[in-house]
Structure 1
Amino acid sequence: MAAHARFSPGPALGLAFGLAMLALAGCAADDDAGAPPRPAIVVQPQPAAAALQIFSGEVRAREEPALSFRVGGKIARRLVDAGSRVREGEVLAELDPRDLTLQADAVRAQLSAAEAELALARAERDRYAEMLERRLVSQSLFDAKQATFAAAQAQAESARAQLAVTQNQRDYAQLHAPAAGVIAARLAEAGQVVAAGQAVFTLAVDGAREVAISVPETQVGRAAVGTPVAVELWSRSGERWPGAVRELSPAADPQARTFAARVAFNAPASVPVDLGQSARVYLVEGDAARLSVPLSAVGGEAGEAFVWVLDPATARAIRRTVSVAAWGEREAVVSDGLFTSDWVVSGGVHLIAEGQRLQPIDRDNRPVKLTAAP
């Protein structure tokens, strides 16, 4: 009985199987290339909370002049209130002008009398000059008339200058806005008598905005002028913008024992920054090399933690192994493997493949423009 020949796959069948797999891979790659990129929320690593000192503050205008009248008097009208937006040169309040008008009238009368005295002294001088030429009077008598004329002339000039001062004071009865902005505080009311230089309004001038914070004694050494910080508005939690300490009081508040500081920051033009908004100021201290990312951004495989980082040039996902120093309630502290300039996918890490092209968006579903590290 003839034995049946046993079938074994030869080299030709193996080659055919390999070609089929390559064809399938090529089809998958074509499908991936033709499909639109999947949206993915991306974030940049932030300094870990353990390495941050957080200060609460309030958004203020960089320029906040106290507005006051240059003369004293009784406020007759108050034309704006706290929160009113004003234009440059707009009248904010007026004093009762009656006393100032009377003063101007009195000085005007003094000027008229001085000019009359000057005219008489001029005529006397001219007459005595003619008499001196005829030698009808002595030189000393003419010199006396000349001195009287000079005194009358000086008196008239003094009265003229005094009238200009009183006219200016009458104009000072109106308080004008030195620049466009918002009335931040009203410190006087109609009917109140104020002295010259007494603050009536505080104006928040349009322009740069800052965060006013109070630095405790134990931290004042770390908050020197120029120290870099990050600023976050309460209304836009999770968004931090770079800033720096611009001003630090040289003396502590006698009651709170804290040092007043001003922090300048750069928010995007599309972000409204209103006066009085609450804000947080993050001051990096301690181990600033540790960064934090959301827990949802960290995956694990074979005992190693990894994140997906987007290539800024191609928006393709790159898997990167990281060292996690601590696991927090909402974030993971990474001690190695990340930089602050990286863009990390914050969720769905198990659905991403190496080299997959993604569409980066933020938490508000807005496109993110990736920027490469400098």
Structure 2
Amino acid sequence: MTQSVTSTLRRVMTLGLTLAVFGGAGATVYAGFALIAAQGDAGAVAVAPVSTVEVLQIEIADSYRVTRRFTGQIEAAARIDLGFELGGRVTEMLVDEGDIVAKGVPLARLDTSALVPQRAALEAELAALVADAELAQLTLSRADALLESGFRSVAAQDDARLALARAQAGIAAAHARIAGVDVQIAKSVLTAPFAARIGARLADPGQTVAAGQNLLVLFDAGPAQARVGLPPDLAARLRVGQSVTLEIGGATHQARIRQIRPDLDPGTRSRSVVVTLPAGLGPVLGDTVALVLAQVVPEPGFWAPLSALREGARGSWSVMALDPVPDGARIVSAAVEVIHADGAQVYLRGQLPAGARIVAQAPDRVAPGQIVQLAAGPQG
């Protein structure tokens, strides 16, 4: 009996507790609805403002212009490594690096002290041979006279004639040896083959040099030239004498094409174009130069600011086109292909017709399907 009463009390307590929990929950829900209703009566919920975008009206073009720069190097019109044809001791170096010299000006001299007595000995030998020739001539004249009188034999006349011939041959040989010494003396003076600027001096007075050893590096003092490698198809469009634009040290200059080489550089597979620089420019030899060429590429498309692009999946690109609606314009994503980029501008190809409008600045808060307002001001 006692056990039954206890079990009944437990069921009554459980039921009461359950009813209390459900009652509390209901009161909480009712209070929440009351609070929301009170706030709704106090004021309306704020609506997000419509985004305003800048608009660009596209213009379809048949082609686009590309400015290409090709790097080259400034060089002299002529450059030679100059040295003596004969070896010897250098007695004078008459120029220094950076000097400008005229054609034929002496640049250096070799020691010729050994050649002076050699030439004097040859002159003395020549004088003796001249005397022998004179004696042989007199002997031959007397032999001819005696032969006519019958007092001299033919053999004696032949001996006199051959002695004269030997003396004359000796004179010719002596003249040749003297001329050879004179050539050696002349070649002991190094002269400028053209008007030049001294680039490097590789020897000093007192130094013994070998035949052909480089002593000086000479650059042509005339207008310098630039050598630029171009792709073969682009070089084929140029012609000798054509005016081109060069950039040197940040400044732009006009120059003319001097020569276009007919062969390809085996290392770069390019054709060398030689351009004569304007006179008085005074560039630094070996400095870099840029040849600027404008090329028109026949490709339909339109220009747009780089900020109008949005990157999609797998490297694809798109712009945000505008579809007019009563409340403004709806954003529509339009796929495009980037043909060329030039700084902050890109040349695009897509299915957009001429006169279509796109968002010039594509902020992240703007998405396809969104209604936007157009910014006031000129568009296009």
Tell whether the 8 Å contact from 2:227 to 2:275 is kept in structure 1 after alignment. no
Q: Please state whether the residue corresponding to 1:92 is helix, strand or coil.
A: strand
Change (3 A) 1:54 1:214: closer
> Which residue identity is paired with 1:91?
P
- Could you tell me which residue of structure 2 aligns to residue 246 of structure 1? 259
Alignment of 1:71-86 (within 5 A): 71-86=86-101
Secondary structure of 1:98 counterpart: coil
Question: For each residue in 1:86-108, what CA deviation from the matched residue of structure 2 results, as whole angstroms up to 9, or x when unmatched?
Answer: 12332211111112223323322
Structure 1 distance, partners of 2:110, 2:118, is 14
Q: What's the secondary structure of 1:241's corresponding residue? A: strand
Aligned runs of 1:1-374 on 2, under 5 Å? 48-49=66-67, 52=68, 54-57=70-73, 59-213=74-228, 219=231, 222-223=234-235, 226=239, 230-237=244-251, 239-244=252-257, 246=259, 248=261, 261=272, 263-267=274-278, 271-282=281-292, 287=297, 328-329=342-343
Give the total of aligned pairs.
250
DSSP 3-state at the match of 2:274: strand
Contact 2:199/2:218 (8 A) holds in 1: yes
- Relative to structure 1, the CA distance from residue 134 to residue 258 in structure 2 (aligned partners, 3 Å threshold; closer, same or farther) is farther
Instruction: Say if 1:229 and 1:282, in contact at 8 Å, map to a contact too.
Output: no
In structure 2, the CA distance between the partners of 1:129 and 1:213, relative to structure 1 (3 Å rule), is: same
Instruction: Give the drift of 1:170.
Output: 0.9
Contiguous gaps of at least 5 residues in structure 1: 1-45, 296-302, 304-324, 336-374
Look up the match of 2:377: none
Q: Which has the larger radius of gyration?
A: 2
CA offset digits 1:148-175 (Å, max 9, x no partner): 2012112102211321231232122111
* Post-superposition offset of 1:288: 8.7
Return the alpha-carbon distance in structure 1 between the equivalents of residues 209 and 227 of structure 2: 29
- Describe the superposition over 1:301-348 as per-residue Cα deviations: whole angstroms up to 9, x where unpaired: xx9xxxxxxxxxxxxxxxxxxxxx85632678799xxxxxxxxxxxxx
Q: TM-score, normalised by structure 2?
A: 0.54
Higher mean displacement: 61-70 or 74-83? 61-70
Matched-pair contact (CA < 8 Å) for 1:48–1:333: no
Q: In structure 2, how many angstroms separate the alpha carbons of the residues matched to 1:264 and 1:329? A: 28
Aligned partner of residue 74 in structure 1, secondary structure: strand
**Letter of the structure 1 residue corresponding to residue 289 of structure 2:** A
What TM-score comes out, normalization by structure 1 length? Answer: 0.54
* Aligned partner letter, 1:243: R
Distance of aligned partners of 1:129 and 1:73 in 2 relative to their CA distance in 1, 3 Å threshold = same
Gaps of 5+ in 2: 1-63, 306-320, 322-338, 350-380
SS in structure 2 at match of 1:280? strand
What's the CA shift for 1:205? 2.1
Could you report, residue by residue, the CA deviation over 1:46-67 in whole angstroms, capped at 9, with x for unpaired residues?
Answer: 9623xx251231x222122443
The DSSP-based 3-state class of the residue aligned with 2:218 is strand
> Partners in 1 of 2:123 and 2:93 — Cα distance?
30
Q: What is the CA distance between 1:70 and its match in structure 2?
A: 3.7
Q: Which amino acid aligns with 1:244?
A: I
Q: Using the alignment, how far apart are the partners of 1:147 and 1:184 within structure 2?
A: 59
Q: Which amino acid aligns with 1:113?
A: A
Q: Secondary structure at the match of 1:48?
A: strand
3-state DSSP of counterpart to 1:126: helix
Corresponding letter in the other structure for 2:297: D
Which stretch shows the higher mean deviation, 103-112 or 93-102?
Answer: 103-112
Aligned residue identity for 1:138? S
